[in-house]
A and B are shown apart, each in its own frame.
Chain A
Amino acid sequence: MALSSTDLGANLAKIPTAAGVKVEKEARKRLGITGWFAVSWLSVISLAALLAPWLPIAAPKADFLDLVEPNGNPPFHMAAHILGLDGNGHDMLAQTIHGARVSLQIALGAVLMGMVIGGTLGLMAGYFKGKIDRVISTVFDIFLAVPALILAMSLVAFLAGDPAKPPTGIFNIERIMTLALGIVATPPLGRIARASTLTWSEREFVMAARAQGAKNFKIMFVEILPNVLPAMLSIALLSVGVVVIAEGGLSLLGVGVNFTDKPSWGNMIAQYAQTDLNDHPWLVFTPIIAVFLTVLSLNMLGDVIRARFDARETTL
């Protein structure tokens, strides 16, 4: 809500923590079975994505067309291809793992960009207040005045140009997507940083540092930032999930990494939804399940981190 006079950055930070029952808060601070599940899935999928070229899996575009039945039905579930093949004989496990590489790289890159730019701007706005705060907050408001997915879609569509001729070189399509989604991720993270800085910069230790003659830069990054980071981190984890979903949404809208060049979770969903939903739905469901498990795990971890670090919930 870009135009409200109430500070929604602060509200956004407040809303999910307003949990009522005390027992529940305590339970959420521990990792628990679900938490371990989340950590395991994220570790497995990130490692697989990172090491994809060296894993004993097929190349994503290697074709096993001889295994596809003459009627065009790809076999599902066989020892050598545990997630089956698609209609072109491409191995689904290999595509899903290589797809993770693309999707997670874009998501992590975008959120990192949001953390660095949004964090710095939010820190400045919350620390200096006054005119600087007004300018930075207005910039955030303007970017939030366009629905996030529409903003990302228009940036990618126009920066990439003709979808049939994806850009190459330094500004290839993956980098453009990272940039666009990073721009979208910046204002929410920036607002969290700002809201959090506003409260922390009033604390005694900050005044003490200032009284001892510490420079603004040092106070901001040495004294305040470490306290602001936990709040940002839990939102950042949620944002990684949001960006993974956004990559899927963008692919369905027809912008994004080209399926024939490189599989990503999003373009796999978009491609198979068009060609195989009726006859071979598992082709669509495989990347969907990967996205779901990743987002679910990130949300769970975000919840645990929030419960553990949120100053409002700890009794002093």
Chain B
Amino acid sequence: MAFLLRRLVRVITVVLFVTFFSYFLLNLLPGDPVTSIAPFGTKEIKAQIRHENHLDESVPVQYFSWLKNFVHGDLGNYYTPSSSSPVSKDVKTRFPVSMQLVLYSLFLTLIVAIPLAVFTAYVAGSRTDRIINTVLFGAFSVPDFALGLVLAYIVGVKLRWLPNSGYAPFGSGLWNHAKYMILPTISLAVAQIAGFTRVLRSDMIATLQEDFITMAKSKGISGKRVLWRHALRPSSLTLLTVAGLNIGALIGGTVVIETIFQAPGLGLLLTQAIRGRQFIALQSTVAIIAIAYVLINVLIDILYSVLDPRVRSGAL
């Protein structure tokens, strides 16, 4: 109970800091924020924008009114010379697209990295192992956007197998959805696969030298079973650690990959907000992404304590 309470306090503190950071970004703008957002505005429009966003108040008041609106789902407005429209509507439709990309690439990473790691650990030191390792090392150094652009050219432009930009929702048919998601997912997954496999492989090699593995083998349990049931299980915590370390990079990668493939997720929203000087929208989207990231970390933390009782008791 005390453990949960401590965690809760910590999460709330981090969320407060993260939201304060997002709110405070607006104050970093050189010059008057309202002029930056709406350089076209008349005096009245500017005054209205200033009032709407509480920019005429003191910093603490600004923050708490921003936070209050944020919690109530009011993420501010886009401002164009002719109108203003709410940001929240866009965030709602775009969040799932980014979520899909992150989940698909995580899934692809796991289904490739785990067997690959188990296999290379099993044949560690062999020629095959060395070749796979070298390829993975190379793959680890390929930036996701570089792979994305190469794939977009080869598969999208040259071979014309898959579209190199756009998006179709899941509801429009599985293949229709998949054909837009395949290239971005692969672009994101390759470096992740390399990272996951390297760590998991080392971990498995260490585990395979443990006494309980020798024990299991001597009991006559088949090599396959030892590998998958006895050796892989203790590595689940390592997997979780790597996932935790990499999820931030994956989110950053998704944002960039979305702009390359014009997938209408939060990343494309960020790019559009930057290009259009929509700093209020930018600020809210950053806050949404940051909070999502904090919550993912909380989830990983909970999984940790489920998998390893030592974490729960505070022994680690």
Which A positions have Cβ atoms within 8 angstroms of B?
Answer: 1-6, 8, 11-12, 15-16, 18-21, 23-24, 141-142, 144-150, 153-155, 157-163, 167, 241, 245, 248-249, 252-255, 269, 273, 277-278, 281, 284-285, 288, 291-292, 295-296, 299-300
Chain B residues contacting A167 (CB-CB under 8 Å) are 30
Question: Which residue of chain B has its CB nearest to the CB of A279?
Answer: B157
Chain A residues contacting B241 (CB-CB under 8 Å) are 1, 6, 8, 11, 15
**B153, A277: Cβ atoms under 8 Å?**
yes
B91 within 8 A of A: no
B side interface size, CB within 8 A: 75
| Interface-central residue, A11, A161, A278, A299, by most chain B CB under 10 Å | A161
Chain B residues contacting A16 (CB-CB under 8 Å) are 198-199
**B256, A157: Cβ atoms under 8 Å?**
no
- When chains A and B are docked, how far (Å) is the Cα of A234 from the Cα of B199? 17
**A146, B270: Cβ atoms under 8 Å?**
no
Which of A15, A145, A159, A284 has a CB less than 8 Å from the CB of B153? A284
Given A161-B29, A161-B30, decide whether A150 and B252 contact each other with a Cβ distance below 8 A: yes
Q: Is the interface of A mostly helix, strand, loop or mixed?
A: helix
CB 8 Å contact bits of B249-265 with A (1 = contact, 0 = none)? 10111011001100000
- Write 16 A-B pairs (CB below 8 A) sorted by A numbering: A1-B301, A4-B297, A18-B199, A145-B290, A147-B289, A148-B252, A149-B253, A150-B251, A150-B289, A162-B36, A252-B256, A278-B153, A291-B146, A292-B141, A295-B141, A295-B143
**A4, B25: Cβ atoms under 8 Å?**
no
CB distance from A189 to the nearest CB of B (A): 15
- When chains A and B are docked, how far (Å) is the Cα of A149 from the Cα of B253? 8
B155 within 8 A of A: no
Which of A18, A147, A148, A160 has a CB less than 8 Å from the CB of B203? A18
Given A157-B282, A296-B141, decide whether A147 and B26 contact each other with a Cβ distance below 8 A: no
**A147, B149: Cβ atoms under 8 Å?**
no
Chain B residues contacting A299 (CB-CB under 8 Å) are 137, 140-141
- When chains A and B are docked, how far (Å) is the Cα of A82 from the Cα of B147? 24
